[in-house]
Structures are given as structure tokens and as C-alpha cells.
Structure 1
């Protein structure tokens, strides 16, 4: 057999083997409510998880509520629907906790509630979070998604721009370490127009100063709004490569704004450099749908990663698809899952 035919056969066999993979997922980034604190409900979420082969899900609220302003004749459907403000909304965690508590015990084991309803600019927030943890001992398994730099939403929220490295959040990180809770941060790496990692120091400082906190960086610092203006951040991959080497407490949420244009090209082919990066740090990447109060697209969002997963070594792919998110949860939770 010629070398060309042998290589072609090897590639064909690899493709067939990849197609035979049957992934089970953990959704590391899911919002039970939308920006109006409304939800399609737990029944729809459970049905979507069953259809999408999602075994576990992070369960969080939305830390702000969008205002329907007196001067707006039509209720907006999203935070960007008009220029009305949004405001920090602590009751989002009450809604999440209520939905979680209504589930049978066997179903509760599949959900991992993250507490998010606090103002990240307020140095009282760590005291509020502690009260929430004490009100429901053992319920909360993480903190986040914490909104800091967040596209146009940042300008709509009442008050100052939150920074991931401000003093109020430093107090929250100390509390997270005390309770062994991971923290998911939304912290854009740059603005819509700056072609450099403008805000990188804001995420890098907490990573350096709080080595005992497991930080999940939502969307790897990217966003669809950034991509509308810049298409692709050429500095993202080398920046992540350096940061993953420097900070063992950094984990990357590969939710939808990372899938394209980074993991897959316009033709749906996996990017070789990203495959190498994920393979080099097989425990540090996880998948998220980032659905917001409606769950019909949940399975499609996660299964959209299949071409990239199929190009990874199978053990790595399964860790990224399911296991890595579970591995960042508190030790007490991981012990229960192992049982």
C-alpha cells in the first residue's frame, strides 16, 4: 500500500471513530432566568437537558434586571432592546434557589447553583453573600456569573463600571476561598474597538492575588459584540497560552462566542492551534450554552462543539464535554458525585 493511500485510510478511520463518539455534557454556563427575571421553567430545562444529553448544569440567575422605562411604549425583549437602564437585582438568587428546591432529590444532584445577585462595586457584597450562604447551608456551589466589563450592558447598569480587580470583589474572592467556591467572571479582555488586550490586567490581578480561588473566565474574555466590530482577536490565543501556564487557578468557559471564530473556522473545521492548546491543558476547559431563561437551544449549543471535540484525543474531549466543570466544584460536592 502506498504512503498516500495509507495516510488517507488512517484519516478515514479516525473520522469514523470520531463520528462514533457519544458525548455526555455538563453545561458550565446556564442562566435560569432572563434579564427580566423570567424563565421558561424547570420542566422545559429538564426536557432540553434530556434531549441534549446534558447530565449536569450550572444554575445561575442574572445579576441585573432590565428596566421598562416610563418613556418606552413597548416592553424590551433584551437588555439591548432600548436605552433604558438595568439595575443590580439580588432576588435573582431567590428565584434560582426556589426552582432548585422544588426538584426531587435525585434531580437536584444534576444542578449546581451559583450565587450571582450582588453589586460587584459594593464592599458590602461579601457580607450579603455570606448571609445567603448561611441562610441555605450547602445549597450554593459557586459564585457567578459576575458581570464586570460586559459590552454595552456595562454602560446601562446603574453606577460605576465594575472591574474584576476592584476592592469589593477582592473581598468576595476571599470569601470564595473560605467556602471553597469557584467564581465565574465575565470580564471582557478588550473593548469593541481596541485591538489589544486593554482590560487584561483586570482579570490577571485576581488570578495572581487569589491563587486559592478557581476562576472560570466566561467566554475566555470574548463576546459577540466585540466580534461584530473586530471579527477575531489575534492576540487571544497567545494570551491564553501564557495565562494558562502562569495561573493554575484559571479555567476557560468555551461558550458560544468562542466556538466561532476561534475553535472552528467558517467552514466548520477545527483550528489546529486551539486543539493543541486544549490538549496541552486538558483539565482547564469546559463548555457552556449561556442560554438565558429559555432552553430550547441548549442541546444545539453544546452539540455544536462536536466537530472540535471529535478532533481532540477522546479522553480529553470527554473531560472538556462533561468532567472539567464538575472538577471545579467544591470538594464536598465532588465527593458526593464520586459516591
Structure 2
């Protein structure tokens, strides 16, 4: 072990040169195996990317809607926002995820944590559908989500009622999640593209308050790239999160890509000290995600991009955020079987 003065010098050199003195292993807490057309780069590509990036574990889910190729469109869209055609709730997304995972040998299956997402969150029959799926594959599904509620222009494009995180249909789903000890990932924008206040905050707070036995993972902390295109940065986000983390011990924050910038890192790529303080103050409540959608090239780069922020945290906290916090929200039966 080097003398203290030498060790400190090495750390200072690493910081000055932008080289991390730490090496991390990751859990990807937010990954979609298929895209909005229910297509995927495939399991071989995913496992190769995980190996390249030091990603030990990954949440794996489908996409709960499918984008329509409208007969009036001469070219197939490449993304849900590619044209004005709608999207529809697509339950077979879970069949695709399950089929891909079940083909794997056990050593790979232990690293993938399937979340069930293919249900309509405005339909009060949703909990019955989820129960059927859980009973068809006992012990297979390890969480619910990503549940799409307020989601930028996708909300307007999706056929049917506007989904809200606090509607009656999802209330029934949350009771089911508590019964089966399943974490729930919810995409619920904190505001609209134009409003400079937490317009939709009550929609996520109400279930947090009413379902204290459910572990909620808030996707992107309520932010989105579309919001940032119009507002750049939400000044109210950090104090709102601090207050919510104090109020709701069942709240966990997914720090996927729309949170990395402009919040965790500034325009020069330097860690924001206020966010470092926030995450350090709640060391078990934050996790990383890539939010890749069906294609896995560059997956390692998505998570490695968090390293400058992780390096600014106390090392024990950084390793929890990078890998362990996601595993800690999984069902207790799963945690007991995790390879160490």
C-alpha cells in the first residue's frame, strides 16, 4: 500500500488529467430489449455490450406501445416521433422479452432482470392481465415497467385515454406490485414542455404517498429530452427531489441519460456539486440507466459517461449508485439468489 502522501498525489494527478482512479462495475437499471417497432439488435449484441462495458446486471423490458406505419406514409418511420401516425398498446412485447431471456444459459439469465411492461395503464383490467402473466411464468418477472404515463409527444400519439401515474387503473396495479413484491418503474414527466413549474408532480406523488409498500423507480427523475429542448434545465428539480426523498422512503431515482446532462454534469463535463451533495445524502436511492431502445452498440459508453460524476462521490456511494442500488430494489427472493 503506498504512503498516504503518494496516494494523494496519484489521486490529484488522476483528477487533473481527467483519468478515473476507480474502475466501476455497473447495473443498467433501464434498458429496453426492443424498440418502438418491437425489433431488437438481439441477445448476442446485448451480452457483448454488457461484457465490454463492465455491466454485471441489467433490467430488461420491452416497449409497451408499438408505432403504427400509417398507409398514408410512403416511408416507414424510424422512431415514434418520426411522423404523425399513432402508437397502440402492445402486450406481446413481454412475450418477445421472455422468449429471448429463456433461451439463455443460466449464468446469463442470472444477470438479466425482466420487467413486465405490456399493458394499458388506463385500463382497469390491467391488473388482471398482469396477474395472468405472473402466474403463467411463476418467478420469472422481477418488476413492472417502464410504465408510460406522461411522456412528451408519445402521450398525444398513443391511442386512447391520457395515462396518469395516479389513475384508478394503476392504483390496482400498484396493489398487485405490493402483493408480489415487485418494484415499479414509472415514466411520469414532472412538467410539460412549456411550464416552468412541476405541473404534473401530484401525479407521481399521490401513488408514492398512498402505496408506501411499493418501491417506485422514477424514470429520469421526471425529466425528458423534449422538455430540455424547450427549457434546457429545470431549476426546481433538485429541491423538489430533495423534499420528495425526505418524504417518501419508497422513492428511487433512475439517473438515466436525460439527467446526466444538464444536471449531474455541467457544459464542461464537470460534476455539479449540488447534485453530488444530493446523491451523497441519499446513497441508497439513486441508480444508473442507459435507456437504450432495442440497439446496444455504444451501451458501454452510455454508462461510462457517468464516471466523472461517480468519481466525485465518496467511493462507497459511487459503487452503490453504479451497481448495487438497482439490485437492492429487486424482489427479496431474487436478491437471495444473486451471484456474488
Secondary structure of residue in 1 paired with 2:243: helix
Matched positions, count: 334
Q: Which residue of 2 aligns with 1:5?
A: none
- CA shift for structure 1 position 10: 9.2
Secondary structure of residue in 1 paired with 2:32: coil
State the TM-score, normalized to the length of structure 2: 0.96
Q: Which residue of 1 aligns with 2:219?
A: 218
Deviations 1:44-74 (A, max 9, x none): 0000001111010001000000000010000
The separation in 1 between residues aligned to 2:258 and 2:152, in whole angstroms, is: 13
Q: Which residue of 1 aligns with 2:331?
A: 330
Q: Which residue of 2 aligns with 1:35?
A: 36
Deviations 1:301-324 (A, max 9, x none): 000000000000000000000000
The 10-residue stretch of structure 1 (249-258 or 9-18) with the greater mean CA deviation from structure 2: 9-18
The separation in 2 between residues aligned to 1:211 and 1:40, in whole angstroms, is: 37
- 1:89-238 alignment to 2 at 5 Å? 89-238=90-239
- 1:70-89 alignment to 2 at 5 Å? 70-89=71-90
RMSD: 1.7
The separation in 2 between residues aligned to 1:326 and 1:157, in whole angstroms, is: 32
Deviations 1:223-276 (A, max 9, x none): 000000000000000000000000000000000000000000000000000000
- CA shift for structure 1 position 12: 1.5
Q: Which residue of 1 aligns with 2:15?
A: 15
Contiguous gaps of at least 5 residues in structure 2 = 1-7
Equivalent pair of 1:18/1:310 in contact (CA under 8 Å): no
Equivalent pair of 2:14/2:21 in contact (CA under 8 Å): no
Equivalent pair of 1:146/1:185 in contact (CA under 8 Å): yes
- CA shift for structure 1 position 18: 7.3
Q: Hey, which bits of structure 1, 4+ residues long, moved more than 3 A? A: 8-11
Contiguous gaps of at least 5 residues in structure 1 = 1-7
Equivalent pair of 1:146/1:186 in contact (CA under 8 Å): yes
Equivalent pair of 2:11/2:21 in contact (CA under 8 Å): no
The separation in 2 between residues aligned to 1:10 and 1:201, in whole angstroms, is: 48
Q: Which residue of 2 aligns with 1:65?
A: 66
